[in-house]
Amino acid sequence: MTADTTDTGLLARIVARDGGDAIHDPATGELIGHAPTASEADLDAAVAAAKAAQQDWAATPDAERSAALHAAADAIEAHAEELAQLLSREQGKPLNGPNARFEVGACAAWMRANADFPLEPEVVIDDGETYAEVRYRPLGVVGAIGPWNWPMMISVWQLAPSLRMGNTVVIKPSSYTPLSVLALVDVINSALPADVLIPVCGGGGIGEKLTRHPDVAKIMFTGSTATGKAIIKAASDTVKRMTMELGGNDAGIVLDDADPAAIAEDLFWGAFINTGQTCAALKRLYVPRALCREVCDALVKVAEAMPMGVGLDEDNVLGPLQNAAQRDIVAGLVDDARKSGATILTGGEYDAEAPGYFYPITLVSDIDPDNPLVVEEQFGPALPIIAYDDLDQAIEWANSLDVGLGSSVWSADRQKALDVAARLEAGTTWINKHGAVDPRMPFGGAKESGFGLEFGVAGLKEVAQPHVVTY
């Protein structure tokens, strides 16, 4: 069953009429439209306009900024189905399941949460002799650069705290998914004054210019660790503030008391939400040798029951990979693992002649802990399951990489799980789930997964200049 189209002309408003990048549906190859591409002069004009608008926006009473964020959330909800359908067509994720409608819903929820976080000065000394408080001021123009996997939600993670704090934002979406972000920004802008939020589209070159721009005070970047390292260098010339949400390769450790059948579905979604194209998805699963067979069988059963296909088909809960390059990375790593003697329990083959960048859910066992499918970020629908004999060894493997975004522990005994969690090097450790985020819960990476925090009051402070006033 295919979804009805809800068309209020949003797509027609945002597409370029004279050239630009052709954007195709990754499930069918169908042309969706052309995205405008910014020149360097366009970028300069956008930053200048955002800079000019910032003082008035910062001077707007906080209650009004907060109300504007709620009004933007209302607008997102009013356009929810149209946004979800465009997101599904451009990114590939289905409407149903934890996918396009879920992502649009999260955009509204994060706007509202950021509208409501308390934004008050913090009194740090008041002992009768000394008084000191920390106030939080906006930084100026925030440059936001995002990836293609959760393009709308991650844009809101960047722009909502920035706007609430009184900054203006120039946002550069991934050139794989610009239309989703342009549509979202168009809807949000119905609730904001002019030039407070400005999109600029283009590839890495435009992104780099934004990171070097002297009138940009802060870069919020979500993307790969390699690009993050380039941005850290570029943005350091002007001592920009930076929040870096970078790559991950999340480990999960199953303990010997876990019930494979009971955890299989949560393990599945922890690994394969968005067809595995999620920074904080389960990417390597360490399982006690004695439980390995049962865990593998339970996961295969769940995996083979999940429908994958075109996103607008209401029956599907898994979509294609977003682009050919990503499918090639996953296919190459799985092929190499197979050649090295690993067992492919399900998946592992795709039809290169069929339309769309589909690649099946792939479960791999009998694999060495240092196989590239285990230690490299494959960012797709493959999960290596590694047998362990000794829990200390599993923890050492989990901590052995340069990245540390998320991790998880699976056990019937909460205290045992907490003890293992305390030993894991990651920004977040989930127990008996993986990847769930909440606007009240700070999110960020350890090691080369980045620095800085998003969400909550911590996320507001990240886009603010602390100012101590004391007497």
* Residues with a known catalytic role: 245
The residue within the footprint of ligand NAD, chosen from 158, 174, 408, 411 (CB under 6 A), is 174
Closest separation in Å from C-beta 389 to ligand NAD? 30
The pattern of x and - marking residues 192 through 231 that bind ligand NAD according to CB under 6 A reads -----------xx--xx--x----------xxx--x--xx
DSSP alpha helices (H): ranges in 139-259?
151-164, 178-189, 204-212, 225-236
> Is the distance from CB of 273 to CB of 435 less than 8 angstroms?
yes
Closest separation in Å from C-beta 53 to ligand NAD? 23
Q: What are phi and psi of 409, to 5 degrees?
A: -130, 135
Q: Should residue 450 be labelled a site residue for ligand NAD when binding is judged by CB under 6 A?
A: yes
Q: Should residue 316 be labelled a site residue for ligand NAD when binding is judged by CB under 6 A?
A: no
DSSP 258: -
- Residue 391 or residue 451: which is nearer to ligand NAD going by CB? 451
Size of residue set near ligand NAD by CB under 6 A: 31
Closest separation in Å from C-beta 176 to ligand NAD? 7
Residue 37 tokens read as: 């591409």
Residue whose C-beta lies closest to ligand NAD: 207
Please state the separation of Cα 18 from the chain's center in Å. 31
DSSP 308: B
- Helix pair angle (260-272, 289-304), 10° resolution: 60
The pattern of x and - marking residues 400 through 439 that bind ligand NAD according to CB under 6 A reads -----x----------------------------------
303's CB contacts (< 8 A; 6+ apart) are: 268, 272, 346, 347, 361, 363
- Residue 178 or residue 347: which is nearer to ligand NAD going by CB? 178
The residue within the footprint of ligand NAD, chosen from 81, 90, 186, 245 (CB under 6 A), is 245
> Is the distance from CB of 35 to CB of 192 less than 8 angstroms?
no
- Residue 75 or residue 86: which is nearer to ligand NAD going by CB? 86
First-to-last alpha carbon distance for the chain, in angstroms, is 68
391's CB contacts (< 8 A; 6+ apart) are: 253, 255, 420
Q: Which residues bind ligand NAD (CB under 6 A)?
A: 145-149, 154, 172, 174-175, 203-204, 207-208, 211, 222-224, 227, 230-231, 245-248, 279, 377, 379, 405, 445, 449-450
